[in-house]
Amino acid sequence: MSKRAYNFNAGPAAVPLEVLQRAQAEFVDYHGTGMSIMEMSHRGAVYEEVHNEAQSRLLGLFGNPEGYKVLFLQGGASTQFAMLPMNLLTEGKSAGYVKTGSWANKAIAEAKLIGDTFVAASSEEDQYKSVPDLSNLQLPENTAYLHVTSNETIEGTQFSSFPDTGSVPLVVDMSSDILSRSFNLKDFGLIYAGAQKNLGPSGVTVVIAREELIQNSPKHIPTVLRYDTHTKNNSLYNTPPSFSIYMVNQVLKWIEEQGSLEGIEAKNREKAKLLYHTIDNSGGFYRGFANPDSRSIMNVTFRLQSEELEKQFVKASEQEGFVGLKGHRSVGGLRASIYNAVSYDHIKALVDFMGEFQKKNG
């Protein structure tokens, strides 16, 4: 095998090498069927076993709490921005949103097209360099749900904890940090996440929800956009992204092998600590974007003294085999996305490169 890249892409992102190798071994002939998993009918017993196993394995990582359902949908988190209020923002209700950056803003914009919304908290005045304190939120009685974006990939901020919303369902977009750390699923009404960062390849979106929230969708919305359609049909109402779901199942197996969520979290914090230490101890050559108390352990955003120097950094890094270190086009700067599949050794290689670059350009 040729040398693999140091992959710091924000998404689609790195997939564990062990998972890729297992998928490669089964790609042409899955378990003696003479077919690839992507060639099979989604109505067949072989594929349904994979489908159901992935659902069960995902809930198992959270301790199998009662009353929760896993859906495999399509359209990415961007479709959930609309599907969520279509299903839960009913007449007479208002949806609360926490405004923390680029992805939260997209979710708010879609919800406003559907029904009444309000901003429950915001870090806009801080240029989205932090996440707001949600410990003392006062939500109106008619609040349909409170929506939080747990991790902003573009700004590099992340909530370290989540509010107790009482009887109001807490809904969280976890696209960029799902399964990166431990949490109690019972604290949430609904979680959704595109798979292409920590769960597998692009093509499938995971929704984990309390069953009562997704059992009775409004009758006036299109059938394929109703949560209850997919709940009643075990996410097999239409042809699912079967190969992507197979890959999710393989990634979930790999997470179990890493010590489940506790083991993954310990590794992620160790990786982030090393990278942030390098930034903070560079004498100002590298400058972190997010406030220290709101820093993401998934997306590390930083700047140099000038855009020209940042361009030099990106060019030099690419020559050394590093991929994806250019910041998002909307904000510029630099960003290292260090999702579950990015190894500590790759972080070490990055900080060594950063040290050499500083020596040459500092």
- 29 catalytic? Reply is no
One domain, residues 171 and 36? yes
One domain, residues 252 and 269? no
One domain, residues 252 and 270? no
Tally of structural domains, the chain? 2
Q: What are the pLDDT digits (tens) for 299-335?
A: 999 999 999 999 999 999 999 999 999 999 888 899 9
Question: Which residue among the candidates 99, 197, 271, 326 is catalytic per the annotation?
Answer: 197
Parent domain of 51: 17-257
Domain CATH for 134: 3.40.640.10
- 360 catalytic? Reply is no
Q: In this structure, is residue 10 part of a structural domain?
A: no
User: Which tokens go with 231?
Assistant: 């709940």
One domain, residues 266 and 293? yes
Which residues neighbour 277 within 8 Å (Cβ) at sequence distance 6 or greater? none
Question: Which residue among the candidates 103, 177, 271, 326 is catalytic per the annotation?
Answer: 103
Q: What is the C-alpha to C-alpha distance for residues 58 and 192, in angstroms, rounded to an integer?
A: 13
Q: In this structure, is residue 136 part of a structural domain?
A: yes
Q: What are the pLDDT digits (tens) for 244-294?
A: 999 999 999 999 999 999 999 999 999 999 999 999 999 999 999 999 999
Question: Which residue among the candidates 69, 99, 173, 254 is catalytic per the annotation?
Answer: 173
- For residue 239, which phi and psi values (nearest 5 degrees)? -65, 120
Q: What are the pLDDT digits (tens) for 33-54?
A: 999 999 999 999 999 999 999 9
- Give the Å distances, CA to CA, from 85 to 89, 146, 294: 5, 11, 27
One domain, residues 277 and 209? no
HSE-up of 178 (CA within 13 Å, CB side)?
30
Last residue of a domain, one of 257, 292, 320: 257
- 254 catalytic? Reply is no
One domain, residues 225 and 111? yes
Q: What is the pLDDT of residue 316?
A: 98
